[in-house]
Structure 1
Amino acid sequence: MELGWLLWGAAVLLLLHLVMELSPAVNFAVRIGFYCLLCLVSSVLTVPVCLIVNGGRSVKNMKIIKTVLKTFKYLLGVRFEVKGLENFNMDGPAIIVSNHQSILDMMGLMEILPDNCAQVAKKELMYAGTVGLVIYLGGVIFINRKSTSSAKMVMSEVAKTMASDKVKVWVYPEGTRNCTGDLLPFKKGAFHLAIQAQVPVIPVVYSSLTTFYNPKKKLFTSGKIKVEVLPPIETKGMTSDDVTALTDRCFHTMRETFFRLSGRPSEAKDSS
């Protein structure tokens, strides 16, 4: 009887594998479903560990979350090639800005996340069940993107926290996910914050995912992501009048790096 169930199970798995090979849409749905299941299961298992080890909400819980999430790449066939991690080796707070492409960015984030670093995320994620709970416990800073005044108040508090607790803050200046093979114009909030707190900006760039992950084309296969941490940009002495120039400088530097890492250096030159 047990042998029969094993044979049936093997047959179903083989059939699913064949269908996934023949249909990109099925392959995409199965892999996305598996990724979401990994997030759900890992969050359920990680929440009690965070509560026991650190007693509740703390940026220290990110070490625990990072350890768990770094296993995802092996299960999904995603490889990372990282350069410039030494640029995180600086005392004191900083603003880290990076491009934001897809739900897979969480793996890229956890691959290089420095210690004592809090992320800024949209408020809606807080209500995503146990996933929302675990990132809340990890000290993620939630902002209401629909309310400018609310977001400014939160960022003002973040500036105070950076100064008192010496934490780094990770922000996605594009403001939303963007898997088009280019960068969206940067919002200025992160750069206002950096100048207000007089802390360096550390740009981080991830190469394009479009060769192996593209929701519009129902594409999701194995692939490699190149990551580069760029040298810090000092803001000491800058004022609010310098926000636009700082934003533009980071955008152009990151966009050029993005095209280079993605194997399209000519596009960066043509668009400058």
Structure 2
Amino acid sequence: MLFLVRMLLLGLHCFVVGVLGVLIGLCRPFNPDNSRIFARLYGLPATWLMRLEVKAEVGPLFDQPPGCVIVANHQSNHDLFVLGHVVPPRTVCVGKKSLKWIPLFGQLFWLGGNVLVDRGNSYQARRAMQTTTRTLREDDTSIWVFPEGTRNPNEQLVPFKKGAFHMAVEAGVPIVPVCVSRYAKRLSLGGWRRGKVIIRSLPPIATSGLTQQDVPALAEQCRAQMQRCIDLMEAELPRT
């Protein structure tokens, strides 16, 4: 019963934020700071409803000026709410083109200035990546990417896709890893127990002087650093 009530409230919350977000987006379409506003509107009430306590340790993320590539692990659809607490100013996201068909959220995502990529069309995907590179270089805007490419609630990060790292190297901008503790498998929307999730950002990884040949090693370096950080956060959390 509690699960159904909570899901109903989350659905209502998403509808209200979707309507409000679209109105904000229509007033300031494609503003690169829209995503931060939308993320807070989604995240803060939703994690309260889900009884999730979010501990954010993201000094390096907010100390880094806009114009970097942010990479984070991706566990579930609830990442929208959890990571909504820490999206920095002037940050947009790379997402699947199919997202635009989701009622309200898709229109909000588009009006937020986010980048929609058709993964089935290699030409359009390359064009989109060229656009993000110009955004990084010229618009003082950061790009948020989930380099695993899919939801992964398991203990080990899957090998990272290289697109985010190609972007960073081509634009000559740093990469900021953002790590989230493994909350997805512990989340219980049908119970009263309060859960805890830690979000921790790591120091920026410089790409100056690197070439595209360095991308595989760069991606693996980032994945290894994030894996160690996630394992450490898990050891800090109380056993349930």
Verify same fold: TM over 0.5.
yes
Q: 1:140 aligns with which of 102, 114, 118?
A: 114
Q: 2:176 aligns with which of 180, 202, 205?
A: 202
Q: 2:210 aligned with 1:235, yes or no?
A: no
Q: Is the 8 A contact 2:70 2:177 kept in 1?
A: yes
SS of 2:89 mapped into structure 1? coil
Cα separation, 2, equivalents of 1:183 and 1:196 = 25
Kindly tell me: are residues 214 and 174 of structure 1, through their superposed partners in 2, closer, same or farther at Cα, counting changes over 3 Å? Answer: farther
Q: Is the 8 A contact 1:31 1:220 kept in 2?
A: no
Cα separation, 1, equivalents of 2:192 and 2:211 = 44
Cα separation, 1, equivalents of 2:225 and 2:137 = 27
Give the aligned partner of residue 224 of structure 1: 196
- How far off its partner does 1:100 sit? 0.3
Q: 1:150 aligns with which of 118, 121, 124?
A: 124
Q: 2:32 aligned with 1:81, yes or no?
A: no
The one-letter code sitting in structure 1 at the alignment partner of 2:231 is F
The one-letter code sitting in structure 1 at the alignment partner of 2:221 is R
Which protein has the bigger helix share? Answer: 1
SS of 1:71 mapped into structure 2? helix
Q: 2:158 aligned with 1:184, yes or no?
A: yes
Kindly tell me: are residues 199 and 65 of structure 1, through their superposed partners in 2, closer, same or farther at Cα, counting changes over 3 Å? Answer: same
Give the aligned partner of residue 38 of structure 1: 13
Cα separation, 2, equivalents of 1:221 and 1:125 = 32
* TM value normalised by structure 1: 0.79
The one-letter code sitting in structure 1 at the alignment partner of 2:200 is E
SS of 1:262 mapped into structure 2? helix
Give the aligned partner of residue 6 of structure 1: none
* Gapped regions of structure 2 (runs ≥ 5): none
Q: 2:223 aligned with 1:248, yes or no?
A: no
Cα separation, 2, equivalents of 1:100 and 1:214 = 18
Q: 1:66 aligns with which of 31, 34, 39?
A: 39
Q: Is the 8 A contact 2:55 2:198 kept in 1?
A: yes
SS of 2:229 mapped into structure 1? helix
Kindly tell me: are residues 103 and 30 of structure 1, through their superposed partners in 2, closer, same or farther at Cα, counting changes over 3 Å? Answer: farther
Name which one, 1 or 2, has greater alpha-carbon Rg: 1
Cα separation, 1, equivalents of 2:184 and 2:45 = 22
Over the residues paired in the alignment, what is the CA RMSD in angstroms?
A: 2.3
The one-letter code sitting in structure 1 at the alignment partner of 2:41 is V
Kindly tell me: are residues 171 and 222 of structure 1, through their superposed partners in 2, closer, same or farther at Cα, counting changes over 3 Å? Answer: same
SS of 2:235 mapped into structure 1? coil
Kindly tell me: are residues 264 and 82 of structure 1, through their superposed partners in 2, closer, same or farther at Cα, counting changes over 3 Å? Answer: closer
Kindly tell me: are residues 182 and 213 of structure 1, through their superposed partners in 2, closer, same or farther at Cα, counting changes over 3 Å? Answer: farther
Cα separation, 1, equivalents of 2:51 and 2:88 = 23
- Between 1:128-137 and 1:228-237, the stretch displaced more is 128-137
Give the aligned partner of residue 72 of structure 2: 98
Percentage identity across paired residues of the two chains: 31
Cα separation, 2, equivalents of 1:58 and 1:201 = 22
Cα separation, 2, equivalents of 1:151 and 1:122 = 10
